[in-house]
Structure formats: C-alpha cells, structure tokens
Structure 1
C-alpha cells in the first residue's frame, strides 16, 4: 500500500531477521503482496532491526515496528532493546524531524506511552479493532513523532552584512528525494 502513495524517489527498507520469511515473500506469497519486493524502491535487509535502526542516523521518515505482540521482547528477549529507553532513543536518532515511529500491539501498555514521551516523542496512542464480523480483537498503534527543532534549540543563520541579501533555507518538514522509511519485521 505504501508503494502506491509514495513517489518514484521513495526508498523503503524492510529488515527481516529470518531468511525463510524473505524467501517465502519472494516466492509463494509474491502474488499476494503485489510483488512489492520486486519494486526497485524496496530494499530487503536480512538482519537485526535493532542494528539497522542504530545505523540510520536521521535518515528515516518512518519506522514501522510489527515485531512482537506489543512493546516487549515477546518473541525474542533481545527485542526488548527496541522498546527500552535506549532503544527508543536510537529510533528517535534514526528519524528526521517530524518522522514517525509506529508500533503495533495486541494490547494497551500505559507505561510504554509514558516511556515514548520520556524518550522525547510526541505520542498518540490509537485504539483500533481488527476486522471481523463482530469487530474483532482490540489492538493499539502508537504514533510517536520526533519533534521539529524549535527556535530555542536551533542556531539562527548569521545575518548578512550586505543589504538585500537573504539566506534561503528549506522549510522544516519539506519532502526530500532521499527520505527513507524503514519497515521492520523481526519474528522468529
């Protein structure tokens, strides 16, 4: 779905720990995903999503985590590194200003909302229901946004000494051809 709304300059990186899942997505499941893994804008990285996030310094517009059933290392204890304060700081550092960390959970987790805020994110907790004849199970998606730099934290450009000269700067949040969302899946 993301590929349909993103432009030709978009880059999507999917990080998957289990090579068999990548092979399955490229093979028997390719038709169900619209062969999205064959799209030249998509890069597949077989590896640890924690390492990928730590390496992505201010290069991501979005990080989507659908790794465990919630913000705990359920499938693998090492996944706790995604959801603790250090891991959230790494995600914050990987995002550009205005970028979003989205975390899916099968259950509410009030202390995780507080931890996202403590890490520096503007946080929205969205309750949703899975599709089904009776509404389905209740889930939660956290949308944690990295704030834009404020005037108090940003140095101002030096004033021009010559009359009539001005400095043109890209407005915060303007699209860039090099922005790169990271979609992360890391299940055993």
Structure 2
C-alpha cells in the first residue's frame, strides 16, 4: 500500500458508526485491517489465532463427515475460512448482523474475502443471529427448522460483556437450550470470548449440554513482547448415533 493509513469504509448503523481501515504498522512492518464500532476496536487482522481455533476446536468434536456449519459473526472472515479448510464441511452459513460487513466481503475489501465468498459451500446471511436462535425457522430461510452439526459464535466480547443488552439472555440456560435445538444429536456449540474461562458460564453450559469445556488459547502479542489469551468454549449435545447426514 502506498499510504500508512487508509479508511476504506465508514458507515452509520443502528448500533453505532462502523469503520474499516487499513494501516501499515510501522513497528511490525505488516499491513493490518481493523474494524471499529464508534471508538471501540472490534476486530484486527493482527490477532486471529483464537478465531481460527474457534473453528478447529469446534470441528474437532463432531464425528463423521458432511458437516453443515453455522458461523455467527462473519467479521474479517478468519473463522469462516478455517471452517472451509476442513474437507468434511458440506455447507457453511455465515450470519452477520451488519450488512456493511457482508458488503466488504463481496467487494473483496478484506484479506480473506474472496477465499470465503468464492467457495460454493458458503452462504452469507444478513440477519440477527440471536433472533434466529429464538425463532422456529432458525438459520436457513430456505429450510426452516434445519439442524446443523456445529454452530460457532464470535459476536460479543464475552458472555458478560455484550455488544447489545438484548444478547445477554442467550448466555443463560434458557437461551442455550434454544441454541441446542438447532443442533443435530452430537452437535457442537463453540464460542469465542476475550476473557479467561468463566465458571458461571461453564455451569450454564453444563445444564444444557452433555459436555462442556473451556480452552485457553494463547498467542504472541507483538506490542507487549509477551503472550495474550482468549477462551474458546466447546459444548456438545448427547450423541446416541452418528451425526452425519
């Protein structure tokens, strides 16, 4: 890039001002894509290890092949791309509340955009993930009530620090039970969080799912010369039979 900073897009949305920018980090000498909501950083291409691990850990749990997967929160596309790199995945629905983010992918403004949008297994859906969880029709308008083998979510900062107050109920047992209804037997729910493991949330998962655990994902932070950490929760429904098909 010829400049050290470029604001690629800037929009007013119902939840605030969202912007996409690209910059050359002078210390690291790498190009970084960032998304901000008002003055808050939502995503950075500099820190993607845990987003990729969300897909890897979530897809490590189901048995069989021909997985149908939902990703809640398209973001910069790192989780979606990691899902598509698994040859067992048959289909991917990526649900994104901000139409602007979907447009960035379709206009190829992000590093992985074309690798996500060009894959015939991918469908990008503009909608409210949490409303879809609570609805009878679910995530696929073309097949109401369709179930999935894995639902991977990276939307809020943590189960306690949500982007909108309406999301909070999802992280309670009743909300998690509604989510589990969209999974096949033996299906997996995985969630990214910016905080260390939360024992209360693990307990809520344990009320709904057959198994639940928290994986701490560490990665280098070039600004501190140390490590940073995120958490990926992985929970699985009961599996009396294979979840393929």
**Counterpart of 2:182?**
94
Q: 1:101 to 1:3 in 2, by over 3 A?
A: same
CA deviation vs aligned residue, 1:50-88 (integer Å, no higher than 9, x gap): 232343446111111101111135211111132111210
Alignment partner, residue 121 of structure 2: 41
RMSD: 2.1
Select between 74-83 and 22-31 the one with higher mean Cα deviation. 22-31
Matched, 1:122 2:211: yes
Which residue of the other structure, out of 218, 221, 224, is the alignment partner of 1:132? 221
* Cα distance, 1:135–1:6 mapped onto 2, change above 3 Å: farther
With over 3 angstroms needed to count, the CA separation of the structure-2 counterparts of 1:135 and 1:61, relative to structure 1, is: farther
Aligned to 1:32: 112
Q: Match for 2:101 among 10, 14, 21? A: 21
**Structure 2 CA distance for aligned equivalents of residues 146 and 58 of structure 1:** 16
Q: 1:106 to 1:26 in 2, by over 3 A?
A: same
Gaps spanning 5+ residues in structure 2: where?
A: 1-81, 139-144
Match of 1:175 in 2: 244
Deviation at 1:174, TM superposition (A): 4.8
Matched, 1:65 2:156: no
Please give the secondary structure, in 1, of the residue aligned with 2:90: coil
Structure label with greater radius of gyration: 1
Q: Aligned to 1:136, what secondary structure does the other structure show? A: strand
Question: TM-score, normalized by length of structure 1?
Answer: 0.73
Q: Distance in 2 between matches of 1:35 and 1:27?
A: 12
- Residues 51/174 of structure 1: CA separation in 2 closer, same or farther (3 Å cut): same
* Inter-partner Cα distance in structure 2 for 1:42 and 1:83: 27
Count the aligned residue pairs.
153
Cα distance in 1 for partners of 2:120, 2:162 equals 33
d(CA) in 1 for partners of 2:207 and 2:243?
27
Q: Which runs of 5+ in 1 are unaligned?
A: 150-171, 177-188
Shift of 1:175: 2.2
Question: Given the two structures, how large is their TM-score scaled by the length of structure 2?
Answer: 0.57
Task: Give CA-to-partner distance per residue, 1:112-144, whole Å, 9 cap, x none.
Answer: 000000123410111111333445322111100
Does the 8 Å contact 2:159/2:171 carry over to 1? yes
Flag the structure with higher strand content: 2
**Is the alpha carbon distance of 1:58 and 1:22 closer, same or farther for their aligned partners in structure 2, counting shifts above 3 Å?**
closer
SS of residue paired to 1:10:
strand
- Tell me how far apart the structure 1 counterparts of residues 210 and 153 of structure 2 sit (CA, whole Å): 15
